[in-house]
Amino acid sequence: MSAAGQLAANWEKTFTATTAEQTHAFGARLAEVLRAGDLLVLSGELGAGKTTFTQGLGEGLGVRAGIISPTFVLVRIHPNLPDGPRPGGPDLVHVDAYRLGSAAEIDDIDLENTMDSSVTVVEWGQDRVEHLSESRLEIDLLRAIGLDAAGSGGGSLDFDGEDTDEPRTIVMRGHGPRWATAPELGAPELGGPELGGPELGGPEGSTPC
């Protein structure tokens, strides 16, 4: 890991999403503060909602629809739509690093060529992509209920397409000068509690690290 990857986070915020819709809405709201060059590192067990979150992110960025887990192709690029909510905004590059074992293998897929014009989201990217940028957001999606034997099979690496409405904890950390302070995400309607309310944006709030 690079020296930048070893530095402590500037801050940490914790949220709770009680439904898949709220996880999606959280991604859409976060997209409003993102810009080209931003790097997001997603972590979470199978079915934790990583793809649901990324679908919301894509909606907020105004990119081409059809976001699914890129597990078997490693990288999918979703271009910005000129008639979408953010014409001229960044593309979305969606990466699944599950099958990549090192930072060197990340370099082989040439993400550097798209980072300046895109928001790059890397699932399973911890300890693999920190060298790509001096700044990043780390987002952990944690299931309230772990996988059982029935939920761990089927030959798929990601069950986010079958995301259920079980509660999820979302932990977000900011690294580097771009994220010296936590973004203000406001309070969108999420079909339930508002961001910053008692369930989404729980009592932990923002904690300096």
∠43-49-54 over CA atoms, to 5°? 80
Which tokens in the block code for residue 163? 């995301």
Would the pTM of this model clear 0.75, i.e. be above it? yes
| pLDDT for the residue 197 | 36
Q: At residue 152, what are phi and psi to the nearest 5 degrees?
A: -100, 0
| pLDDT for the residue 70 | 66
What would the mean pLDDT of 4-12 be, rounded to a whole number?
77
* Nearest CA-CA partner of 55 in 17, 19, 25: 25
Rounded Cα gap, residues 36 and 49, in angstroms:
24
86-144 pLDDT, tens digit each: 999 999 999 988 878 778 888 888 898 999 999 999 998 888 899 999 999 999 999 87
Q: Print the SS3 string covering the chain.
A: CCHHHHCCCCEEEEEEECCHHHHHHHHHHHHCCCCCCCEEEEECCCCCCHHHHHHHHHHHHCECCCCCCCCCCCEEEECECCCCCCCCCCEEEEEECCCCCCHHHHHHCCCHHHHCCEEEEEECCCCCCHHHCCCEEEEEEEECCCCCCHHHCCCCCCCHHHCCCCCEEEEEEEECHHHCCCCCCCCCCCCCCCCCCCCCCCCCCEEEC
**Do residues 54 and 42 touch, judged by C-beta distance below 8 A?**
yes
152-179 pLDDT, tens digit each: 333 333 434 446 678 889 999 999 999 9
51-99 pLDDT, tens digit each: 899 999 999 999 999 998 766 678 999 999 999 989 999 999 999 888 7
Rounded Cα gap, residues 69 and 72, in angstroms:
8
| Summary mean pLDDT of the chain | 80
**Do residues 17 and 98 touch, judged by C-beta distance below 8 A?**
no
Q: What percent of the chain has pLDDT over 90?
A: 52
Query: Measured on CA atoms in the order 161, 164, 169, 170, is the torsion positive or negative?
Result: positive
Rounded Cα gap, residues 39 and 18, in angstroms:
26
- Is residue 148's pLDDT more than 60? no
